[in-house]
A and B are shown apart, each in its own frame.
Chain A
Amino acid sequence: MMTEAEIRQKLREWVVRQSGKIRPEELADDTAIIEKRIIKSVRIPDLILFIEEHSGRTIDVEQLKPGVFRNIDTIYRNFFAVKADGPGPEKA
């Protein structure tokens, strides 16, 4: 099982790899990845698959709330910090 630091590192690496334009040192955990279009809309389905794969949770796209993919912090809080059988993701 991965630690919080390892999960955050994996998410940062994925964002840097997918964006193709941001350097690792430019990406903080509170950098707005969709608003700044570091991650473009066409990559969002891949991001969902990546989170599902590493969190072991199935994400219901219909239930996603605004803000949950805002940055690494919100992704971690909403999809990794809560228990798999806990309440659905909704915190921005």
Chain B
Amino acid sequence: MALDLKKLDGIGWQENGQAVLSGMALAMLRRLDRLFLLWAGECGAEEYRFPTFIEAGQLHKLDYFRSFPHLVTFPVALDTSPEHLKEFSRSAVIDEAGVVQLGKCAPVREVLTPAACYHFYVLFQGTELKTARNLTTVATCFRREAYYRPLERQWNFTMREIVRIGAAEEVKDFLADYRARIERFLSDIGLPVAWENATDPFFDPSRNPKFLAQKLEPVKTEMVFGGALAIGSINFHRNFFGETFDMRRNGEAAFSGCVAFGVERWLYAFLSRFGPDERSWPSVLRSHGIAGDLANDK
């Protein structure tokens, strides 16, 4: 995978872990997400678009800050008292290292979305589901990491998710169907991906019983490209979100599961496997609507 993304047209890189996409790279990213949306449509998933922030109080119910403090990013605003705003605006504002001298801040009650599907469990909180719900959304997700690499590991990145909330068997069937669907596609286009059991990236995992539970009864299967890069995952949450957010199906805590795609990572896998010029990509990719005439995509 000796792909130098910095030399490719349409991919700009900021050292703080953020990519700028344009031209062909952006068109390819959109085509990939369109493909995932098409797959979501196969189960009739309702599409949602959520805000960038999610309430910290809701994530706290999931014990999120104990499990993933190293990943979280908060939106911060200044304290709005006239005295403080005056003081701030008259200060140097930024020091030589580029660090903003915030002074007093307003209370922080939100988090920048760390995973797209959390919004659904908050939305359906306290509801009895008459039928299983199939849902999809795409979100810019934010995760602090120890290091960043273009497309592979970014502070913010695009996550498409297809979600089902329902009874245990309904969710298991959904996840099995999507795994088969994705396996067929990967085999058809010749993208080498291994399915591997994984755990969520817990902070201090050896002290976290949730990590132990995931290790003992795997609930996360990653689609691993090139032996190291997880471009997506299939996740069975059991009834964890159902109990936490009081979602019920047939009178019992609902089960849930999601299929998640890291869209920039899929782009990376495609560029690595098929080369930087989509005009030379195999025709099978055109038949799936991913390649072909990208330059004309708006």
A interface residue numbers (CB < 8 A to B): 32, 34-37, 40-45, 61, 64, 66-70
Contact = CB atoms under 8 A, between A and B. Distances in A.
Interface string B125-168: 00000000000000000000000000000000000000000001
Given A35-B238, A37-B239, A37-B243, A45 B216 contact: no
B209 to A, nearest CB: 4
Nearest to A39: B213
A41 B212 contact: yes
Given A41-B210, A42-B209, A44-B209, A34 B239 contact: no
B217 A66 contact: yes
Given A42-B209, A45-B212, 12 more contacts: A34-B217, A36-B238, A36-B239, A37-B238, A41-B212, A41-B213, A44-B209, A44-B212, A66-B215, A66-B218, A67-B217, A70-B217
Contacts of A36: 168, 238-239
A50 B213 CA distance: 16
**Sorted from nearest, which 8 A-B pairs have the closest CB atoms?**
A41-B213, A41-B209, A34-B217, A41-B210, A42-B209, A44-B209, A69-B216, A44-B212
A34 B238 CA distance: 9
A11 to B, nearest CB: 16
Contacts of A64: 212, 215-216
Contacts of B187: none
Contacts of A35: 217, 238
B190 to A, nearest CB: 30
A66 B113 CA distance: 31
B101 to A, nearest CB: 41
